[in-house]
Amino acid sequence: MMKRFALCFLMALLLVQTAWTGGAHAAGVFDDTEGHWAEQQIEELASLGIVKRNSSHAFYPNKPITRGEALALLNRVFETAYGSLELPQRKSNLDYRFLLRGEVEQLLVNMKAIWQVETNALSSYDPGDRMLYYLYLAESGQLLKKQQKENPDWWLSSEAMQRPLTREEASLLLFHVLAPQKFRTANLKPQDAVTYFNSFYEWKQDRFYRDTYSPYPLAIREFQLFLTEKTFSPEKIMTRAEYAVVMKRLLDYYRTDMAAQFRSTVAQQQNIAQLYLRSATLALEKKQQARLAAVFAPEPLKAMTTLPQVPKYNGPVTITSKTDMNDPKILWLIGHYRDPVNGDFQVEYKLEQDASNAYGRKITAVLYSEK
């Protein structure tokens, strides 16, 4: 009788422990990453949902990363930082059979949205479209270089997206994802963007690494994603662990850059504010509870759902910003929304410093008024 009682007690204790911890694997490392040189970066990405745990509890760190996986991880890093900026759209050049197609298409619209904000929608250049096109060139065995005549019927198959990613291809992907930052640091006018990026596609940029003429590794060198000095090994296949480390560095860069933009020029502050509000209102529209909790305090979140007119994430809006008169650490964003049917309105958002998101700020109050 005592043995049976002890056994029942032990089983109950184990059930309670599992309920609290979610099982050993949910909070611990992958079975095959413990002691691996990239264990820390892989686990941090896993804790953020960028790297997905699976039923086998394995990450396969030394296996090649595929092109499709690389693009999906890029989008997860982007959305961990910025949030979703646009609803996905079907990309006809991408094979509908590709299983990660939805995440790749989400990345493309996110890239276009941030590019349009950075350039005030004055540039015809589309970094996401160009990224996939040059990946198509790589698949067709050509240099990642501008051709004399572009193929208007280019198409990336599911098989192409499942091939291993080379380091040069990785530099190409990152070059396009970081196009808004390249545009900003180059101090360009929007009408000069096409010419500027064509200079990379035409390989007119200076070389740096002695083992490649490709301009993309040098173009992203300023972001310190690949810590290489004299050689880049462009043809080398990237492992899943190597790519995870690069993704962790990209996430760290985003966090630093986004926080710095709030302390930059008025124009740049308003750009990052526009991205902040776009991601916040889209999260509200899509009911993304985790994202909403990261960008809204409870009271203003409740208030947003009861406003006479709720801002649309992609609606016509003019954003201005001002520092709080009593506390320089507090920033007010004023959104002037145009609504020809119900009348224009204004929402003022109070942003206080907070580390729960990459923007480094959280909305702690909203004030609504009709104009």
* DSSP code string of 169-207: HHHHHHHHHTHHHHHHHTT--GGGHHHHHHHHHTT-SPP
Q: Which amino acid is at 30?
A: F
pLDDT value of residue 29: 66
Q: What is the DSSP letter of 65?
A: P
Q: Where are the alpha helices (DSSP H) in the chain?
A: 2-21, 24-27, 39-47, 67-81, 101-118, 127-139, 158-161, 167-177, 179-185, 193-201, 216-219, 240-261, 266-286, 289-295, 298-304
Taking the C-alpha atoms of residue 257 and residue 267, their distance in angstroms, rounded to an integer, is: 15
Query: pLDDT below 50 — which residues of the chain?
Result: 1-27
Exposure string over 70-80, b if 16+ CB within 10 A, otherwise e: bbbbbbbbbbb
- Separation of alpha carbons 6 and 222, rounded Å: 62
* Residue from 350, 349, 346, 348 nearest 330 by CA: 350
Residue 340's pLDDT is 87
pLDDT of residue 112: 98
Sheet holding 331-337, edge to edge: 317-323, 331-337, 345-353, 361-370
Residue 168 near residue 127, CB atoms below 8 Å:
no
**What pLDDT does 6 receive?**
43
- Give the H or E element holding residue 364: strand 361-370
Q: What DSSP character marks residue 332?
A: E
